[in-house]
A and B are shown apart, each in its own frame.
Chain A
């Protein structure tokens, strides 16, 4: 799992992510996030990296 920055335009991505949720209800936002997670996970592909990301996502 990479921990240094690999986003080519971090602020732009951050804005796009927030904008995508504009006008959505909480339920719609949850569905959007779930779809996005699956789409992005498929880009990563590697099972070990994905497992590490899930572990890292847990809030201690």
Chain B
């Protein structure tokens, strides 16, 4: 089996725009196009309507476009990013990068962004904690690095252009949803545009419209919410400082009144520096260019030459819906849950939400899976949301302890961390996000619910391939990897499976072993086997989102059952 031709990232065809122009960001403006509904065209019923073209909605739209599913994406604005706001979410996890690779925008992200794997945490002038993600678990085995930092609007802009290349999804700007109804027959959205109002009928509504969504009220969605008094000042700063691209966090920074400071490098040589402020500080005074320059001088010396690209005040809360599906409406990204920003669990979780649902909707629309598959979105992503809220709440509590005993324990932790290794683990400036595991999913069995890293293998002709290549080749079907030698009976069974069910089967053999299946790859380093968490003679079902549904040993009825289970048709 040779490497399939891909549609490629076509990055050479794109203008190399830079959104950072001197001070401030210049974001693109997309034109409003009068929709067919207002041009006398025939009303068309779309299987999916996505509301909100932020990073989550755009990932959803791009994933559906890649799978050839027709959809409409509505956004009330005409640009990416948020007018008047800054870099926003900047740390993208390996899992998100693997998703972007599958969608075809990774190359542009890698070219523009900054890779990092080392983080250091300081208290006063002492480094109390450091990690190198390349040395943790198997981060080094993926084609994608542990993290890339890039301003959020770059990824959004790349996704907009990629959707344009792929087709199938109509992106409609300056289109605001003002009313919504749903019943057994479908959902109806009223959309307000500069050219007037129209209605859209659809079977599935994806709410990716962010933290101010109207859909919570329209659906009667309930959630738990928690807001503290922690206040921050965010600054995007360009300055000529030859420093390593590492994530630096101070719990107590001498140059910020012993409060926290975060420091990250993003694209265009712009640094993102977040300063924790006193809870009762006046945001306008503290989140000002003059104050930021004063802090930068205190940190780097009087002669620091810096250019403030953007500065603003920031606060956060945490909240989580009690369920992510209300009838035909699916909540994802910030509409599903809001987390404090520590650990990069906001935008990345939205991307993962979208990737989880897109292939399931496509499978249902194509008749490959039953509607019950969509319930697993709630099971899986609600568990992930709750886990991410739990972890980030713990970090927020460490960074903004209540006065009294909470502050005493933090002081104790920091002082012990200077002397003893065990205490360094307690210093909590954010637990970096990883792909969540699903332990309560109705469509994952033993061995399932784990993400498969984008590891390398060899095609039949010896050239290098990655898991993402196999997933793209499977085009929205389940990927069945069968490790080891195949008996004649097993080979026949796999052939029948490939014809009768929405699966693509691939045999995986060692470097020099023979292969019985025409579709086979080689796993000389054993990375593919390791990524699927199997040993020796085994099979693994990999879903289009790169997650395992199940693993097993023999190619028998159990495999057939597991395939049907994975698509909720058992």
Contacts and interface: CB of A to CB of B under 8 A. Distances in A.
Contacts, number: 25
Interface in A1-43: 30-31, 34-35, 37-39, 42
Query: What DSSP secondary structure best describes chain A's contact surface?
Result: helix
B519 interface: no
Interface string B395-408: 00000000001001
Contacts of B411: 31, 34
Interface in B376-423: 405, 408-409, 411-413, 415-416, 420, 422-423
Contact of A30 (B408, B415, B416, B422): B408
B412 A31 contact: yes
Interface residues of B, number: 12
Contacts of A39: 416, 420
Interface in B414-453: 415-416, 420, 422-423, 426
Nearest to A39: B416
A34 B408 contact: yes
B422 A42 contact: yes
A38 B408 contact: no
Contacts of B405: 30, 34
A32 B415 CA distance: 11
Contacts of A37: 412
Contacts of A38: 409, 412-413, 416, 423, 426
Contacts of B423: 38, 42
22 contacts: A30-B405, A30-B408, A31-B411, A31-B412, A31-B415, A34-B405, A34-B408, A34-B409, A34-B411, A34-B412, A35-B412, A35-B415, A35-B416, A37-B412, A38-B409, A38-B412, A38-B413, A38-B423, A38-B426, A39-B416, A39-B420, A42-B422
Given A35-B412, A38-B413, 7 more contacts: A30-B408, A31-B408, A31-B415, A34-B411, A35-B415, A35-B416, A38-B409
Interface of A: 30-31, 34-35, 37-39, 42
